[in-house]
Amino acid sequence: MTVDNPLGVDPDDPTGKDDVIVADPTFHLLVDQPVQVLLRSTDVLHDFAVPQFRVKMDLVPGLVTYQWFTPTVVGTYEMLCEELCGVGHFAMRGRMVVDGKADYDKWLAAQPTFADTQARPVGNATAGAANYATCSACHGQRGEGNQQLNAPKLAGLNDWYARRQLLDFQHGVRGAEKGDTFGPQMAPMSQLVVDPASRENVLAHIKTLPDTPAPPTITGDVEHGRRLFETCQLCHGDKGEGRWGTNAPKLAGMSDWYLIRQLEYFKARVRGGHEGDIYGDQMNMVANSLVGPDAINDVVAYINTLR
């Protein structure tokens, strides 16, 4: 399992090429069609539950568990984890959409097969330099960020995270919420790399930029921040290095003023409020546990100490 092969399909298996890959917390089902879900986990126990379906079954690493059901009512339903899986358990969720035939076919046709995902263009950093010229106006030549222009540091950002954010900006999942002052500036910029090849090129270029930690701009109670970070580190890593396995981006050495603004946005659902942004919704639930006037400042002050 890698970033490019998130479901771990065997690349040498010819019959796996046409497998449809849905690496997305939103899943669609066809109404009135019986479904057998085969459930696997690669880390710990989880539970596949759609409370409104009265459906529930544990996912057990090392086993394939299953359950049958037939969705009968078109609509959108919450999919929850209902087996304690760690500190982030309460925020582990997805969405189940039951579609009529036409909508379902449309959705299915838009999903890539395994062969499609493997054929994704490999980014060319040199070619990406040209695309990056536009970005550098705000984010800086070396992707170091610019607080005056409200542009965060890009160098060192996990490429899978940067890709998702670009796509979210392009699709209006991010930057379109009420109260978001700076997202609407980024949204049109993201349209410059709509073409997958240029998107991958610019991501490849960002990867080559030197990752120098951003200079701290705030101070706070680091010990209080360390205690609060106990919760964050279980997804973002104890050094704030970011973890693909938990979809949690790198925090250490990134622009602290930007982290503060994003935490405030998450709390206010300015970010994570869009129905397509399920990861943002999870972050909203976690950010809400930062209570009090200093909590956000202190936790970011602690992140500043991580190098």
Q: What residues line the site for other proteins (CB under 8 A)?
A: 1, 39, 41-45, 47, 49, 51-52, 54-63, 65, 77-78, 80, 82-91, 93, 227-228, 230-231, 234-235, 237, 243-246, 269, 281, 284-286, 288-289, 291-292, 295
**Toward other proteins, which CB reaches closer, 94 or 140?**
94
**Toward other proteins, which CB reaches closer, 181 or 289?**
289
**Toward other proteins, which CB reaches closer, 139 or 267?**
267
**Toward other proteins, which CB reaches closer, 23 or 63?**
63
In the complex, what is the shortest distance from the CB of residue 87 to other proteins, in angstroms, rounded to a whole number?
5
Identify the bridge partners of residue 113 per DSSP, sorted by sequence position.
20
In terms of Cα–Cα distance, which of 151, 148, 174, 172 is closest to 161? 174
Contact present, 62 and 41 (Cβ < 8 Å): no
In the complex, what is the shortest distance from the CB of residue 281 to other proteins, in angstroms, rounded to a whole number?
7
**Toward other proteins, which CB reaches closer, 28 or 236?**
236
In the complex, what is the shortest distance from the CB of residue 91 to other proteins, in angstroms, rounded to a whole number?
7
Neighbours of 228 (CB within 10 A): 20
In the complex, what is the shortest distance from the CB of residue 160 to other proteins, in angstroms, rounded to a whole number?
11
